[in-house]
Amino acid sequence: MKNIALLSRITSDPSICHGKPVVRGLRYPVENILELLASGMTHQQILEDYEDLEEEDLFACLLTKT
């Protein structure tokens, strides 16, 4: 049930980022967040760089690839 709530943070709208999945409609594509994580950035570093993101958003992005 918690995974469903997390995944609801991921949205897709043709008028935002060409319909790519994004975090809460904020124009942060999921693939970009995953690239940051894959590059070795910690959750804390990402949250400091992108202040309107929340840690649950990062967990939601990770769920999209499991």
Residues 3-32 pLDDT 10s: 889 999 999 999 999 999 999 999 999 999
Alpha carbons within 13 angstroms on the beta-carbon side of residue 31 total 5
Q: Is 60 exposed, middle or buried (0-12, 13-18, 19+ CB in 10 A)?
A: buried
How do residues 31-47 score in pLDDT, each as one tens digit?
A: 999 999 999 999 999 99
**Domains located in the chain, CATH noted:** 2-63 (1.10.10.10)
Distance from C-alpha of 16 to C-alpha of 62, rounded to nearest angstrom: 20
Q: Are 61 and 11 in contact (CB under 8 A)?
A: no
